[in-house]
Amino acid sequence: MATILDGKAHADRMLEVVRQGVEARMARGLRAPALAVVLVGDDPASHVYVRNKAAACAKVGITSLEHRLGADTPQAELDALIDRLNADPAVDGILVQLPLPKGLDSKEALHRISPAKDVDGFHPMNQGLLLEGLPGLRPCTPTACMSLLAHHGVDLKGLRAVVLGRSEIVGKPMALMLLEQHATVTIAHSRTKDLAAVCREADLLVAAVGRPGLVEGSWIKPGAVVVDVGINRVEDPGLAARIFAGEPKKLEAFQAKGAVLCGDVRFGEAMDVASAVTPVPGGVGPLTIAGLLTNTLQAANQQG
Ligand code: GUN
């Protein structure tokens, strides 16, 4: 049986470090770091994320400032809000919650955020610094996954890592961070030929594609470390029966509630093959917010 990598426990450790950093700032007579979150429209998942962010901020003493705009907000209005937040000395970090409603250009918004306040690490300046291996604000999820791996003593040097997924938010930055730590990195994706065989080469498999239960036990090399970034809601009974065949408790929960969260990896099958696996929920999910608050403290400290 594999070890379960407890993301919640590691997120709590990261949040404790942030809390102490906030306290140290206040002891120097500085104000608490402030994170501005911009939420446009009424995507239900986004509302849940934003609520969780606000709760985590409160726990560590970071000021959370919410800006809600209607789904029909014109681009110029969103841009003007970002300009105001960029210029506001009481704001250290700015996060525009994605996805934006149709009609709004997320690239335009993200490129407009001052790189010094870009706590998501999505601005081309911060992406460029990461590419060069220089310090800057880096995307929250991969940063926190790297921290989890370091905490569990996973030695990345020379390791064969496969990152499944090529998003700007997780896949690409994760691949760069693993490369920086001397792993041999393959980025695989939906067009990769013989995906299962590529995954089977991995000593470390990071799945970030948003496809429930895509990675089967037979795709995993015995003894591999598996990091499951996917958070998917499964509502289809046929799919649930297939992907939860090795997880009677999950199947029971599905039958009771009609829907459950699951990752990109078939957790029950992975537990029989891998040496360590992150669960969903309770794995990478809580780490993302811990990464965001770590970045917010970093942004505040760099701005004085
Ligand atoms: N929506 C889902 N994940 C993210 C994220 O990491 N950052 C932002 N801004 N929006 C998201």
CATH (domain of 174): 3.40.50.720
Question: In whole angstroms, how large is the CA radius of gyration of the chain?
Answer: 20
What is the count of structural domains for the chain? 2
119 belongs to a structural domain: no
Q: Are residues 193 and 273 in the same domain?
A: yes
Is 97 in the active site?
yes
Q: Are residues 246 and 167 in the same domain?
A: yes
110 belongs to a structural domain: yes
105 CA to centre of ligand 1 in angstroms: 15
- Eight-state DSSP code of residue 160: E
CA-based nearest residue to 98, from 110, 90, 86: 110
Strand partners, 226: 205, 277
DSSP codes, 38-56 = EEES--HHHHHHHHHHHHH
Q: What is the CATH number of the domain that holds 74?
A: 3.40.50.10860
Q: Which of 97, 172, 287 to probe ligand 1 with, by most ligand atoms within 8 A of CB?
A: 97
> 3-class SS at 248?
helix
235 belongs to a structural domain: yes
The per-residue pLDDT string of the chain (304 residues; one tens digit each, 9 = 90 and over) reads: 999 999 999 999 999 999 999 999 999 999 999 999 999 999 999 999 999 999 999 999 999 999 999 999 999 999 999 999 999 999 999 999 999 999 999 999 999 999 999 999 999 999 999 999 999 999 999 999 999 999 999 999 999 999 999 999 999 999 999 999 999 999 999 999 999 999 999 999 999 999 999 999 999 999 999 999 999 999 999 999 999 998 999 999 999 999 999 999 999 999 999 999 999 999 999 999 999 999 999 999 999 7
95 CA to centre of ligand 1 in angstroms: 8
236 belongs to a structural domain: yes
Q: Which helix (H) or strand (E) holds 255?
A: helix 248-257
Pocket of ligand 1 (CB under 6 A): 95-98, 120, 140, 169
Q: Are residues 171 and 265 in the same domain?
A: yes
What is the domain extent for residue 37?
29-114
| Strand duo 3-4 + 276-277: pairing | parallel
Strand partners, 34: 63
> 3-class SS at 233?
strand
293 belongs to a structural domain: no
Q: Are residues 205 and 68 in the same domain?
A: no
pTM of the model: 0.96
291 belongs to a structural domain: no
296 belongs to a structural domain: no
Structure tokens at 157: 């040097």
Nearest CA to ligand 1 atom 1: 98
28 CA to centre of ligand 1 in angstroms: 32
